Amino acid sequence: MDAIAGHELGSLDDEDLLSACVAIEKSRSWQDAVQAKVLGEFASRRPGYLGEAPASLFDEGAGDEVAAAMCLAPRTGAARLDWAIELIQRLPKTLAAMESGSVTSSKARIISEETLNLSPEAVAAVEAQVLDGVADITPGQLRRQVKRAVVAVDAEAAQRRTEEAKKERKVVVSHRPDGMAEFTALLPAQHAVALYARLDDLARRARSTAETRSMDQLRADVLADVIYGNAGPTGRALVQLIMTDATLIGKNDDPADLIGYGPVTATTARNIAAESVWQSLRTDDTGVVTGVGRNRYRPSAALADLIRARDRTCRFPGCAQPAARADIDHTIHFPDGKTEEANLGCLCRRHHQIKTIGENHNAGWKVEQHDHGELKWTSPTGRTYITYPRRFPTKNTTNVAPKPTPINNDPPPF
């Protein structure tokens, strides 16, 4: 840190620079936590603001005092104060994790947003489930984990909220400039996912070799065709759902995964299963989708479907590109590596290229595939990252929980 403070950045090697970025990020999380505590202490001296004493104009102006001191708009000052109070009162474990440097403010916001309608006990249970290893996942991955935990901690309440939210379904047209308008529909997730899959399928069928329209344009045109009654071939949209047999037959209420959306309640999943054509996938005892290998260069359609169902996204650390748009890559180049499940993984075009560059240059990214579809990535500066297939939790999942990559455990302020 001395070299950074003295701006002798040129004397640092690449790995030092990356380590400095990480240390600064942790320090920023710590600072945000300490500032929240300071604001909380300030609010406690204006008990009317907290609703702990009769309202007074003096107390209610606490946000304005903060705003004036920090040169913020009054509303922003109050928002800062409210956020600090929320962290202290509603999300104490998240605040502690910020103070230890493992949760950034943006991750804390995700936990806050996704737990908004929960009871204090349920919030504590969600925090307990998601905070372990939180430093090693991206905000997008955290949001999925929190959604799943929210459905898991109180399945009945989650189902009640699902039923309540369904009442809000609607179609809206909003005007946009240049002769355009936006047509949006708020729908139960399974309908939205199915409608999009159907439009995408029709758009792909409509695409000829001479087609100059982009996929976005084609899907938009097909949507109009469907509503005008000029749609192409008929068929059913495929909805992919991952749930255990026990949940399907109602023995438990574990959350299920609606592919293309995320966790849904067991009741919603059983409703979808009851009204759809569906297909089962096998998983191993860790919850990873498994299948049979083939010794061919191009993965068979079934094997490609399997790898996409197992991986769900590009397998580069932190990349969220959906598997549907990713390449199926041989971890060890064919023919040295076989065309089988244990040697295949989804990579988006960009990360496929990055991996290919690494195969030809000593300094590039390297990747190995281990059991259960784990990919171990080594960066050009020698950092290692392990990425896992999206796991559908089973009773045994905890046995193979992702091992956190080592993080710097120095005490704050790092």
Contact between 107 and 134 under an 8 Å Cβ cutoff? The reply is yes
Structure token pair of residue 328 = 């199926």
Going through 211-349 in order, the beta strands assigned E by DSSP cover 241-242, 256-258, 262-264, 327-330, 344-347
Q: Which of 111, 348, 367, 375 binds Zn ion (CB under 5 A)?
A: 348
Binding mask 238-277 for Zn ion (x = CB under 5 A): ----------------------------------------
Which residues ranging from 195 to 224 are in contact with Zn ion (CB under 5 A)?
none
Contact between 42 and 61 under an 8 Å Cβ cutoff? The reply is no
135 binds Zn ion (CB under 5 A): no
Contact between 49 and 59 under an 8 Å Cβ cutoff? The reply is yes
308 binds Zn ion (CB under 5 A): no
* Part of the chain binding Zn ion (CB under 5 A), chosen from 178-186, 231-239, 314-322, 366-374: 314-322
Contact between 331 and 358 under an 8 Å Cβ cutoff? The reply is no
Residue 318 or 404 having the CB closest to Zn ion:
318
Residue recorded with tokens 């609010």:
43
351 binds Zn ion (CB under 5 A): yes
User: What is the DSSP code string of 106-148?
Assistant: HHHHHHHHHTTT--HHHHHHHHHHHSTTGGGS-HHHHHHHHHH
* Part of the chain binding Zn ion (CB under 5 A), chosen from 71-79, 223-231, 232-240, 311-319: 311-319
Residue 198 or 355 having the CB closest to Zn ion:
355
Tell me, by CB under 5 A, how many residues bind Zn ion: 6
Residue 47 or 318 having the CB closest to Zn ion:
318
Residue 158 or 346 having the CB closest to Zn ion:
346
Q: Which of 30, 83, 316, 365 binds Zn ion (CB under 5 A)?
A: 316
Residue 204 or 349 having the CB closest to Zn ion:
349
- Assign 384 to helix, strand or coil: strand
User: For residue 412, is the peptide bond before it cis, meaning its omega torsion is within 30 degrees of 0?
Assistant: no
Pairing mode, strands 241-242 and 256-258: antiparallel
314 binds Zn ion (CB under 5 A): yes
Q: How far is the CB of 369 from Zn ion (least distance, A)?
A: 16
Binding mask 318-347 for Zn ion (x = CB under 5 A): -x-x--------------------------
Pairing mode, strands 366-369 and 344-347: unpaired
Q: How far is the CB of 367 from Zn ion (least distance, A)?
A: 12
Closest CA to 195 of 153, 227, 162, 152: 227
Residue 63 or 358 having the CB closest to Zn ion:
358
Binding residues vs Zn ion (CB under 5 A):
314, 316, 319, 321, 348, 351
